[in-house]
Chain A
Amino acid sequence: ILNVEQSPQSLHVQEGDSTNFTCSFPSSNFYALHWYRWETAKSPEALFVMTLNGDEKKKGRISATLNTKEGYSYLYIKGSQPEDSATYLCAFRTNAGKSTFGDGTTLTVKP
Chain B
Amino acid sequence: ETGVTQTPRHLVMGMTNKKSLKCEQHLGHNAMYWYKQSAKKPLELMFVYNFKEQTENNSVPSRFSPECPNSSHLFLHLHTLQPEDSALYLCASSQDLLGSRGNEQFFGPGTRLTVL
Contact = CB atoms under 8 A, between A and B. Distances in A.
Are chains A and B native binding partners rather than an unrelated pairing? yes
Given A43-B109, A44-B90, A32 B98 contact: yes
Contact of A49 (B4, B90, B104): B104
A98 interface: yes
B107 A45 contact: yes
A46 B99 CA distance: 12
Contacts of A100: 42
Contacts of B101: 49, 51
A15 interface: no
A109 B102 CA distance: 29
A44 to B, nearest CB: 5
A100 to B, nearest CB: 8
Interface in B13-51: 42-45, 48
